[in-house]
Structure 1
Amino acid sequence: MRITDQGRRAAGRWALLLAAGGGLATGGWLTADGMKQAQPPAAEDRSAAEALGPATPTRIRIPRIGVDAPLSAIGRDDRGHLATPSETDRNLAGWYHDGVSPGQVGTAVVLGHADTPQGPAVFRRLGSLRRGDLIDITRSDRHTARFAVDAVEADAKTAYPDERVYGSGADPQLRLVTCDGGPAEASGDAGALVVYAHLAVTD
């Protein structure tokens, strides 16, 4: 099922709440050479891979930053906010199960903490990713959906791009979302970090 307008609004509210836990206070696109770009590449500029059907994602691996973590399904809490992965396990990410599965046509969303009370967490180094880096999502149907990073965006807390992050695409896409930790945590001025990626290979 594609993310609805209501789901996107709820997801956006979650992202702002998560961002209040620490992160980036400035906005802009980050690329491998440090230059800014206006937006991720359009679908016609990306290599095509055959879309997969629905299946539960079970694990995420990001070799460049040493991520190898299980995925839990997350929905919305009783206030209508998108729930966060448990903070008791620093090596845990969450898949928004009311959206599409990673590898399906549309936009799949995976959330993770950068920091927890126990220390640095699964997405602590997400900002180190650059265009072309690979993200593998293992699924319950024994397929692996491999995504290639298009762009990394650091957004101010007050300028979170809900539609760009959660809007449904015409091809299989992935968003990784976290805060960044650090000095902004105490002040509540943190922003969010978003990785944009497209499906590159399936096996």
Structure 2
Amino acid sequence: MNGFDPELMNEVIGDITTVRYSWEMVLELLKEPDFNFKRSAEGHYKYAKDSHKVKQEWNDLNSYCKHTFFQYPYKTKELTDQDGKTRTVKYVDDGETWPTITFCRNNYPYYLEPEMLHYCLWTTKHLSADECKTIVEMYFPRTKYDVIIFETPNSLKSIPDTHHFQVIVRPRQTGLLYVKIDGFEEKSIWTS
């Protein structure tokens, strides 16, 4: 890992895996009520390093996400820490509400087998399972891809104030669509 920072190591150790998740492992883990996926050491270190930088530059993660994924304009303000040091941080005004959706590759994917891709569906409002399926199918039709869509349990969300859903896809092998959102669970096989 290039540029490794030992100070961030404590944030990395508990959340890494050396074993790539297979499709079957992902489905098995999602059966648990508080499932918690992990990243590779390198992937989690990048996540911890970037999170540290965001926390230094932004007032909160929600503001960062609104600006990054939804292009909300940001403002700046001065903050003074406990030591009396002042720094300028960016923030998005809480009054800003632009309903929107962004679907993109996850910059910090779970440690998945190479043929599996990890995406995030970011939204400014909570979506139903059907709405998520409709959006994902526009990008990954069931005739060509197996798809898993799920929402991380609230207790494990790294960004609890911005709605986002995890989407894992692979080239079609079984025609599987699996969705787990808000207690709703669906597992179906597309046979056409």
TM-score, with structure 2 as normaliser: 0.26
User: TM-score scaled by structure 1?
Assistant: 0.25
Q: Higher strand share goes to which structure?
A: 1
